[in-house]
Amino acid sequence: MFKGPEDYKALYAFISDGRVIPDYESAAKLAGMLGDDFAVRDQICLEPLQALISEYMGTETFCYEWMDNRDEVLKLYDALTETARKIYPVVADGPLEFANYGGNVVPDIVGRENFENYFMPHYEEAAVVLHKKNKLIGCHFDADNSTIMDLIGRTPLDYIEAFDPGFGPSVADAGRAWPEKVLWINWPSAWQLYSEEEVYNRTIEMLRQAAPGNNFIIGITEDIPEGLWQRNCLKIMDAVDGYYSR
């Protein structure tokens, strides 16, 4: 939506005019329809700074504006923060048991200092609200998190979702950095192109690194190449069965 500095005033008005309206009936209906075979999670908005990057400006434009017009960027950030604070209690009072807060953070772009100053406080604030209602909160960290592993460990997030051990830190690294958090990985997208044997063996290795596995979930958050989803999912499940039946 943001094309240039002339858009700051209009975009601020647009964000400030936002309304947060619960839709508990639809959420409860979906969870009830899917039953015990599914875990239905809620979704808090993107973190305020990440919303500017992902939704309003795009990465390249955001980076230029952050350097050239930071005061104006921070006015939008403040407006998005106020909207986010209206969302936390709505999610906390809802029928679903856990929620992602934002995600798609790219540490190589955001940097440690900005992550600590403009992301971590929001996880803290939201967690206080959700935990009071016994709701869990996590984040979709699907980039190379090497530079912020320790900072993520300091957050009150209950789980880390979409973590990709195909590049950057491994499952073992995550276990050491976040021993109290649930690690919910994306089975690496690049590995989907490997042979059946390699898919099986790499799954076994991840399970070894995650042992005993009490806080480890294997998920798939990216598309599997057409024609390979059934083969790969069966091999991943065979590896889980084989590892835990020994």
**DSSP β-ladder status, 182-186 and 216-219:** parallel
The conformational region for residue 210 under phi > 0 = left, psi -120 to 50 = alpha, else beta, is: alpha
DSSP character string of 33-50? HHGGG----EEEPPPHHH
pLDDT of 246 reads 82
pLDDT in tens, 131-183: 999 999 999 999 999 999 999 999 999 999 999 999 999 999 999 999 999 99
pLDDT of 230 reads 96
pLDDT in tens, 114-131: 999 999 999 999 999 999
Question: Which among 107, 118, 162, 108 has a CA at the least distance from the CA of 139?
Answer: 162
The tens place of each residue's pLDDT in the chain, 246 residues long, gives 999 999 999 999 999 999 999 999 999 999 999 999 999 999 999 999 999 999 999 999 999 999 999 999 999 999 999 999 999 999 999 999 999 999 999 999 999 999 999 999 999 999 999 999 999 999 999 999 999 999 999 999 999 999 999 999 999 999 999 999 999 999 999 999 999 999 999 999 999 999 999 999 999 999 999 999 999 999 999 999 999 988
